[in-house]
Structure 1
Amino acid sequence: MDNKEILEIAAEACDNVRAEEIVALNMNQVSLVADYFLICEGNTERQVQAIARSIKDSVEEREIASIKRMEGFEQARWVLVDLGDVVCHIFHKDERSYYNLERLWGDASQIPLQIGQER
């Protein structure tokens, strides 16, 4: 399975637990950190944790990727889920505009996601 498919599965996992403002960035030309960033937000700490858990469960049950690292889960203000070449940033709604990763990585192109529809 390629990284784009892992990105789509992670995005679908976010959508399944009602994550908001889901954005995917193609990081290939702008960073060596990852191929893709997936950015989304939740309204409460509990929802942020549910989104992170949904991503983890989704990729592990399909055995397509392993979680390299998950940081920030306990505080649930900004949770980073590292899937290798796909890095998921799950923000609490109050934190997302402060860090504004989309602007920070403004050179990265946005990728249209096919969430909530048949593939």
Structure 2
Amino acid sequence: MTFIPEQLAQKAAKILDEKKARDVVILDISRLTVLADYFVIATGSNAIHVRALADELEEKLSESGIFPKGIEGYNEARWILLDYGDVIVHIFNGPDREYYDLERLWADAITINVDSKKDLTYNIS
């Protein structure tokens, strides 16, 4: 499956936003590391919501034939990481997002705010 990483990051952000994730942001880290091109970061209100966000993202992207290479933290649901190769999605509960503060750690990244009203529908197939 070939896709443009920026489009995948936008699609993931939109899915999370529609499922009521809070503070959804995209960090463009492509010029800072070879680890990935984008981080998508979102916050759930509790462990059940964090898991629901991860489940929804995985389900919706799989409908387009996009599957994570790995998932970490699902059982604890404090910080779930879904690795889509060039796009890594971080879904936190509130206190852990505050504690790890990825936006501060990756302060040199370009922050892309997600506008839930903007149509981010892409053909990534």
TM-score bracket, shorter-length normalisation = over 0.9
Indicate the residue corresponding to 1:47 in structure 2. Answer: 49
TM-score normalised over the length of structure 1 = 0.93
* Corresponding residue to 1:22 among 21, 24, 35: 24
Give CA-to-partner distance per residue, 1:50-74, whole Å, 9 cap, x none.
Answer: 11111111110011x2210000001
Alignment RMSD (CA, Å)? 1.1
TM-aligned CA deviation for residue 75 of structure 1: 0.4
Secondary structure, counterpart of 1:70 in structure 2: strand
* Corresponding residue to 2:14 among 6, 9, 12: 12
TM-score normalised over the length of structure 2 = 0.89
Indicate the residue corresponding to 2:123 in structure 1. Answer: none
User: Where do 5+ consecutive residues of structure 1 fail to align?
Assistant: none
User: Where do 5+ consecutive residues of structure 2 fail to align?
Assistant: 121-125
CA distance in 2, matches of 1:52, 1:77: 11
Give yes or no for the alignment of 1:61 onto 2:63.
Answer: yes
CA distance in 1, matches of 2:78, 2:56: 16
Secondary structure, counterpart of 1:84 in structure 2: coil
Percent of aligned positions with the same letter in both sequences? 35
CA distance in 1, matches of 2:112, 2:119: 17
Give the letter aligned to residue 23 of structure 1: V
Give the letter aligned to residue 32 of structure 1: V
TM-aligned CA deviation for residue 114 of structure 1: 4.0
